[in-house]
Structure 1
Amino acid sequence: MAAGTQDTDAVNLGQMNAALAPKIDDTYVKINPSTATAAVATGGAMAIGGNAQATLGGATAIGNDAVATARNTTSLGFYTSASGGAATAIGAYAEATAEHAIALGVAASAGHAESVAIGVSSTTDRDNSVSVGSGKLQRQITNMAAGTKATDAVNVSQLTPVVNALGGGAAIDPTTGAVTGPTYTLVNGGTQTTVGGALGALDGELTVAKGNIAQNTTDITNINNQLGDLASGTIGIVQQAGAGADITVGASTDGTTVNFTGTAGDRKLAGVAAGDVSATSNEAINGSQLHGVSQSVADAIGAGSQVNPDGSITAPSFTVGDGNGGTTTVHTVGDAVTNLDGRVTINEGDIKNLADQIGNGTVGLVQQDATTRDITVAQHTDGKVVDFTGTDGARKLIGVDAGEVSATSNEAINGSQLHGVSQSVASAIGAGSQVNPDGSISAPSFTVGDGNGGTTTVHNVGDAVTNLDGRVTNNEGAITNINQQLAAGQIGLVQQDPTTGAITVGATTGGSSISFAGTGGARTLSGVANGVNDDDAVTIAQLKATGLIDYTGKEIAAVTYDDITLGSVTFGGSGGTALHNVAPGLIASGSMDAVNGGQLYDLQQQFAQQYAAMDGRVGALEQNPGNGGGSGGPGNGMGPGNGTGGDGSLVVGTGSNAAGSNSSAVGQGAVATGDNGSAFGQGSVASGENSTAIGQGSNASGNGSVALGQGSVADRDNAVSVGSAGNERQITNVAAGTAPTDAVNVQQLNDNINSVRSQIDSNRRDSNGGTASAVAIANLPQASLPGESMVSVAGGTYGGESATAFGISTATRNGKWVVKASGSTNTRGTVAVGAGVGYRW
């Protein structure tokens, strides 16, 4: 068959092969837009897409107007820009402008060194940061595993035990994420809503106790001064057996109190040697011992506590959070010394009783009432000091009963009382605090977090409170941020754009499926709008409208088009499909109706009758030629009329004309005027030389042309026509062509098109695999610090294909040179390798 030249011409195998050959190349597939500026790639870079630019070594720009202008940059998507060294921008309008910055998502922007912007419209605001939103658009981060390292993020499940450990009703709202602070009810400190406040209240009570201790110190000093006025004593209440011997007071009398008060008030007790400080000691202690105790207490409390000249301790200043992000200063410890305060109160009463008894002595400055048996010291004289100092120096005051401990007490306390006070303070402080032999308290050791995932040791309450308060304040801010981002749909797999309201699911993560199944099985997804795009979900209403399912949702065995062009329908079944109950189609010029078996049967009968009649007429003609006779030469004619014929012509039918030499005109009004022409059918015309017209009204005017069928027109030389303009016909039952000039049938064409599609698809997948390899290699991290080496692995995916890349890199000790080699393999089975060296200044 000759090669077709018009839109409706059949094509031969040679034409088809010639047309397809330049379109297929197993080595690459190239697709360029027809109107855009060609892509630009230089220096080992790669650029794909109209106006795409990759201008330095290792740069990759894929997408219309994508730009990668620095070394080792990657820009994927429409109008993306990667201009910082080794930066990556993925998603339409995404930009990464700083060194090693990464922007992932539509309009994402990473403009700071080593920063990452993830999600639509996300922006970075500092170096070495990861942003999942912007100043106006925050997102939650969901499905986050619990952090294990010092620099890991913590999730709500990790924060919950911290809040629970605060006690006092502290809790996290499971719906809103809001944190409810604790409430502590203290016996003497009222109701406190912060840990710092509670500790502050306890500190207040401890301050009161310290004041009481200071007052006791004053009282004891007065007693010492008053007793010092007794120069010596061999008789009476105060006695000394001899030089160097111990002095006794009321050793041979009863009574439980020694009172040093005089007319001028209380006296100091001076020259008192340091008494033993133990749980069983009853020896008096001196001012230096008490000062040591006060100093150790101040050191243990910390927070600026100091010992005043009068032995009192200044209140500490704890700076703690006020629960609203600010701070407040408290100056007490509170109930931590409730036990100590009770004991001191008892001591104060005992000291008062002892003072009353001393005031009623019988002789000398030290007297004892004969009735009450109380001993007094210089009750009726002035002076403010009792000095026990002797020739050997200061003396211990032993046999001292426990004095009253209160804010107004002036009674002496003994070593066991002070030891008890010190022990209670040490126990309240905890953390290893102990009472030393001299009554002082050793500093505690609190092991607390250092804020970076590790621990540190502090040695006073103030530092411990400051540490805890700072970390709790940080946690409060972190919880608030997480709650705000969760509530705004700015973090997590399910997010909502604050401008468009569009909800995305896993937009920045991998995966190819979403499961809605729960513990009760599959769920119904409702509220779905009718899909309009190819990858939109369709609704039941849409499926019902197509006739694919019935009103119950059950599938219907419906027949559908092969593709969206609606150009063909292929029936299933290995042996073909019968189409029953087909209505008679219109048989007319331009009709595209299907015809049924009955119509074909009628046509077959009509042909049979016509052929039978023709066979009879031809037989009669052969037996008895008619007198229709030809003219103009020796021709043959049959039938009535005045048909004419040329040399060697055949004329059959009224008004037929076979004027051409060796021509044939068969049928009423048939005309064959071209030499060797043949016209068969009423009104058929074969006017071209060697032309053939078969069918009523057919016309073959081109030389060597053939017109087949009613009304067919062959007006070009050496052409075969089976119709006319506007009345085209199919040629059916065509055997597969084998020679270059043979006609091809639809099966052959479909096979070749499918082969082309398969080859194009294979090339496309190969290209996607290569792109995935490029993505994987582009995401390989590399050594950047001087003297550092790195082995890395990365993955990439593109167009349904994936790739794995491996790399090794090293930086010289001076940091100037970086050497890198990498390789990748993808799901298409291809392998890529590369190496490079860079110099920085």
Structure 2
Amino acid sequence: MKAFLNRLIAVEKTIGTNNQDTTAAHGRIVRNSSGTSVSPRPPFEVSVLAIVATALFIGLPVPAHANTFKSNEACDSAGLSAVGRSGVPGESAQPTDGSGTYSTVAGCNASGNGQLAATVYGGYSQVTGEGGSAFGFMTSAGKWGTAAGTEANASGTASTAVGFGSVASATNSVAIGGAGGDGTTPLSAANSTVASGKGAVAIGSNAVRGAQASAADAIAIGGQASASRSAAVAIGLGSAANNANDVALGAGSTTSTAVGTKNTTINGTTYKFAGTSPTSTVSVGTAGNERTITSVAAGQINATSTDAVNGSQLNATNQAVTGLGKRMTTTEANVTTLQGNVSTNASNINGLQQNALQWNSTLGAYDASHGSSAPQKITNVAAGAVNATSTDAVNGAQLNATNQAIDSVTNSVQNINSGAGIKYFHANSTQPDSSATGTDSVAIGPSASATGNGSIATGSNAIANGDNSIAQGTGAVAGVAGSNATIAQDAAYGSNASATGGSSLALGANASVTTAGGVALGSGSIANRAAGTFTDPISGANFTTALGAVSVGLAGSLRQITNVAAGTQATDAVNLSQLQAAMSSLSNSIKPVAPTPSSGAGNNASSANGSLIAGNPSTYQAPVANAANATAAGSGSVASGTGSTALGNGAHASGTDSVALGNNSVASEDNTVSVGSVGNERRMTNVGSGVGGTDAVNVNQLNSALSQANGYTDQRFGQLQQSVNETARNAYSGVAAATALTMIPDVDKGKTLSLGVGVGSYRGYQATAIGGTARITENIKVRAGASLSAGGTAFGIGGSMQW
């Protein structure tokens, strides 16, 4: 015991000497009694020494009374001892006594306040409740509390405060971390690490403020983290959990009030959800700073599941819905046909039953009942022909086959979501593999080639040569091989489309652009007119273009441009409505004249009301255009809608901005074009391939799009399956690696170092791990290990402090 006291006094002398005359604020450079500039020991070092001293005391058999320690070293300029109260300068002072039974008190003006089992180590530190422990300068601990670090305060019952200025003020609360600032900032509760709620935990600090958990059972981890409601959890720099039971994950994440969603309505059907009354929320970001949640395992999918689902599950649902729509259309057609066949068979059977089989004199007819009042069977009926024109009777076997077919169709419809026959993606090719040699390039399809940096080539033999170029479609070419990055960024979409001019776009099968900045829209379109200076053929003025031309066709194969918005600037395109308005304005500026028809058949004339007259004047009915900007042409034609056009004998256009084309055509709805009427429809032939999103498409385009979609989805599914298999292999290897690490035994009590080897296996994948555990002190352990598996190398390290 005496030897131990001598060791402790030696430690106290060292600390006391290094801290003489330290009246400045904690964490600053001060001077000792000799005038030499010194730095006080860091609060953590003092705390560790105090913890070691306390641990040694616990292990010694001591009498049940308070312990005091004396020292001949002065603790301040007034001549105090290293452990004691203030005294007269130059005189020795009486050491602080431990006050309570089983107490230990050491430090200048340290006090146990007469508490039972109090442990105090550090100048001006104190314990205010039994069983409290205070380590460090100006620390304070309440009943059963533990405070370690300069000005740490554990005033709550059984609370723990570790770190400079940390505060644990509620029962069972824990505060670990210092106060914000760089050593010059005054200490305050606003910038300290504070746990002020019962059972609250606050860990971490930065230069601004420590973590703060201000409600019961709240947890705040990270500098400036805040958990202000009961059981709330905030993890990360500046995170904030603002409602009870909320969780804020990640730097800057904040939570708001949870909002439930009870149901949704799709196509008139309302679907109810599970988990519609959330009591709290989990946030991984904040408005404007959202985060994705990655590596999410597939959640359960059923009527009561509240699991999160990942992108692959939603993609599978989307693909299933698309496939279901196609198959339902086919299935419904088959069922309709089958029902028609069954109806025909039933009609045939009913007719057979009405035929005379045995003569019944009472009934005056042949009867299958054979004199019995009960219906009778007709057996040994040969199988009748089953086709659209058959009038044969069918037997039970034929009807059973029909029933089986109906049951099969029904089962197919009922099981279509989970049936194994649905295929999403396919790839079927023996052509050479694709090649992506440019930096960050992508190539998809047989012999597809992406040589430009950041380029994308999609489709058989698609070639993307220029940097940042895109070639999509069979044989599509974007950019010139070896082109400079400053003139790249070409894009070609469509089979055999070609964009080589630099910053050019070719959209459509066989579309071609050869000029810089040119655009070719539509199948077969060619854009070869370069930028330059041109002369207006009407005004004779010269104008200059900076980019290549936009083409929607080629010489001899022209296209209309539809759905053109009204132009507003001098260089905008104008639409038909604007042209009609200009024509109307011009017509109104010319004095109308009365019709002057000639006597010959087939001559034309114009009327005074803005309409046009065509045909034989002796038989025509005057066209009527009686609305603003309306035009009527043809005998008996009427344009009564604003901005409407009626062209053809008897054509009627009553809808606003409507067009009726052809004899007797009717356009009664706004913004429509009609080429016939109800019961007198016309086909539109020689329709060019649509280019814009609202253009009409022809049958060739429809068939081509369907074929391309089927090929693309088949290919993508194969790639997705391969990616899923690779992910599964890595996941299984990772589980084996984690298992191997956990199999390494820990260091035994009383030992300092432990090394071990572990193995693990999961679903046929194995891993081997090596690791070790080191006991740094009685209370601190460090553990590290590495594991090798087919999926890669896993490494882990951790440490713990126990008290």
Say whether the fold is shared (TM-score over 0.5): no
More relative contact order, 1 or 2 (CA 8 Å, 6+ apart): 1
| TM-score category of the 2 structures, normalised to the smaller one | under 0.3
TM-score, length of structure 1 as denominator length: 0.25
Instruction: Please tell me whether Structure 1 or Structure 2 has the larger radius of gyration of its CA atoms.
Output: 1
